[in-house]
Amino acid sequence: MYRIKKTLLFLIIIFFCCNNNKTVPQQVLGKKENLKYKYGAVSSADELATEIGMKILMDGGNAIDAAVGVGFALAVVYPQAGNLGGGGFFVIHLSDGRDVAIDFREMAPLNAHKNMYLDEYGNVIEDLSTIGCLASAVPGSVAGLLYALEKYGTMSRAEVMKYAIDLAENGFRIKPELANSLNNNLKDFKKFESTKKIFGRKFKGGEILVQKDLAYTLKKIRDEGKDGFYKGEIADKIVQEMKRGGGIISYEDLENYIVKERQVIKGTYRGYEIITMPPPSSGGICLIYLLNILENFNLSDNDLFSAENIHLMVEAMRRVFADRSEHLGDVDFYPVPVDVLISKDFARKMFSDFDKNKATPSSDISPVKINNEGENTTHYSVVDSYGNIVAVTTTINDIYGNKVIVDGAGFFLNNEMDDFSIKAGVPNIYGLLGNVANEIQPKKRPLSSMTPTIIFRDKKPFLVLGSPGGSKIITTVLNTIVRIIDFGLSLEEAIDLPRFHHQWFPDEIQIERELLDGKTQKRLLEMGHTFRQVHNFGRVDAIMFLNDGVLKAHSDMRGYGKAIVY
């Protein structure tokens, strides 16, 4: 009877939350006297995954349990980015006050080397680092999700994975957006027999997608834990796929994959405290670096989309991305000068040449010398009523990764090797440049832009957020934070309004439609800026803490995700 009542309660909540961002009336669950927050919240890129996270919270799980359940669910219902064959990052604030960063980024195979994507003349071989098995690094998602669950969760693998297994085994009704995405990639899917078996046809929104092979893999993980993926039958299937497709991931690579727990990056902005992801993510350092620059200016003196503010933020972006290209990589292989790059004094010094009336050509900006010392990614945010907060960003890099499904195992492999600097001065698929700090080495983790972030106000949680978007992740998170802190916008406005981006090279402001009016564009052109309109970028899934422990959540209008608060 107890379980029946809980199930009915959950259905009532889903009914009230069918509008993406409407919260459930506070009376539904009532006040929990001994808990930090009255409610819990989940915001992710897919409605089904969000509902699974909420179900786990309602069954008594904590935010880590729910985040792991959402992660496995996204591997089923959001195959363009949710994954078993990729990697990512957790940033967690625990109820006891500890802050944790979990790095489950992919690792270069033992047989990888810095010239592996170059021909005999030193030229980059087209598509070799992006399509097919050689593009794959050793996946970390399964190890990372299980590590988080076992160390910080409260539920068993079976309890948090049962929903994802059911969706894979019995199918789910696909949304029109997913059908369109699959159809748009059909040409690449047909290049690989294993992928063609599952996705080698046209799909329609509303039809049921069943993935028996993926369900089998999930059951192996449920029953055997990490060994169910990195050893035994699934490992056999991965290695066999590598041999068929010219990849280099070996049994030894899989068996030796390790998750790393790292110290979070910390900073402040106008009195707000920020915790975010350290390297091998560039996102945390770049975000703090950008905010340290902007803190020296009163953005709110001008309109949000004024020429003055866009000019200022773009000039900050181009300098930060220049330094990203030179100094950021895997800290286990390269001495990243973290303390220097997140220093407020360093930010002031590096921005001392700012001209408020004139754009600086990117060709005139070089990475500063420091004595050394898809878009397919997805983010989700989870908060429980006990005080645990989780920001997770995970990826297989490009949409559907390297386009190869492991035959008989049902999941896409990543193409994360392209996130290394495959040749100095040659941009990756996101146009980002790199150098020695991010060159390919065996067991090294490629640099990422993922920026899962938690913000505190007066020592209390205020905002948890992150986004997909390749190089635009950092600026998407930045745009959102500035709009909330400097301009007092609501969570919905801050996320849904148009965005802009600059990354040093190409030397252009990438803008979403309707960002600029004619007068502002004219003024920016006079300053020396150039523009390129791009398709909508970023998919922020965020949770905000209001007064008295009340939560508000929002899933970006650019996607088809869902946010639920109870």
Each residue's pLDDT tens digit, 257-290: 999 999 999 999 999 999 999 999 999 999 999 9
Q: Report if residue 184 sits inside a domain.
A: no
pLDDT at 548: 77
Instruction: Write out the residue range of the structural domain in which residue 419 sits.
Output: 1-171+210-566
Residue 8 reports pLDDT greater than 50: no
Q: Which two tokens stand for residue 163?
A: 């929903």
CA–CA dist 565, 543 (Å, integer): 9
HEC sequence for 345-373: HHHHHHCCCCCCCCCCCHHHCCCCCCCCC
Each residue's pLDDT tens digit, 246-259: 999 999 999 999 99
pLDDT at 10: 45
Strands (E), 50-98: 87-93
Q: Report if residue 345 sits inside a domain.
A: yes
Mean pLDDT score, 295-306: 98
Among 307-311, 355-359, 362-366, the range scoring the smallest mean pLDDT is 362-366
Residue 374 reports pLDDT greater than 50: no
Q: Domain tally for the chain?
A: 1
Each residue's pLDDT tens digit, 46-75: 999 999 999 999 999 999 999 999 999 999
Q: How confident is the model at residue 19 (pLDDT cuts 50, 70, 90)?
A: very low
pLDDT at 36: 60
Active-site choice (23, 50, 130, 377):
377
pLDDT at 7: 44
Each residue's pLDDT tens digit, 537-563: 999 999 999 987 789 999 999 999 999
Mean pLDDT score, 32-48: 75
Q: Report if residue 433 sits inside a domain.
A: yes
Q: Report if residue 15 sits inside a domain.
A: yes
The two beta strands, 460-465 and 500-501, are unpaired
377 labelled catalytic: yes
Query: What phi and psi, each to the nearest 5 degrees, are found at residue 550?
Result: -75, 140
CB 328, CB 279: distance < 8 Å = yes
CB 41, CB 549: distance < 8 Å = no
Percent share of the chain, pLDDT over 90:
87
Percent share of the chain, pLDDT over 70:
92
Each residue's pLDDT tens digit, 167-186: 999 999 999 999 999 999 99
Q: Report if residue 180 sits inside a domain.
A: no
Examine residue 506 and say whether the peptide bond preceding it is cis (omega within 30 degrees of 0): yes
Q: What is the pTM of this model?
A: 0.92
**List of residues 6+ apart from 27 with CB closer than 8 A:** none
Among 32-41, 56-65, 152-161, the range scoring the smallest mean pLDDT is 32-41
With CA atoms as reference, report the closest residue to 211 among 405, 385, 362.
405
Q: Report if residue 27 sits inside a domain.
A: yes
* Mean pLDDT of the chain, nearest integer: 92
Each residue's pLDDT tens digit, 114-156: 999 999 999 999 999 999 999 999 999 999 999 999 999 999 9
Among 6-20, 275-289, 416-430, the range scoring the smallest mean pLDDT is 6-20
Q: Which two tokens stand for residue 93?
A: 């604030």
CA–CA dist 138, 543 (Å, integer): 32
Q: Report if residue 234 sits inside a domain.
A: yes
Residue with tokens 């980024």: 105
Mean pLDDT score, 108-112: 98
pLDDT at 14: 43
Q: How confident is the model at residue 343 (pLDDT cuts 50, 70, 90)?
A: very high
pLDDT at 436: 87
pLDDT at 549: 77
Each residue's pLDDT tens digit, 425-434: 787 777 777 7
Mean pLDDT score, 291-298: 98
Q: Report if residue 200 sits inside a domain.
A: no
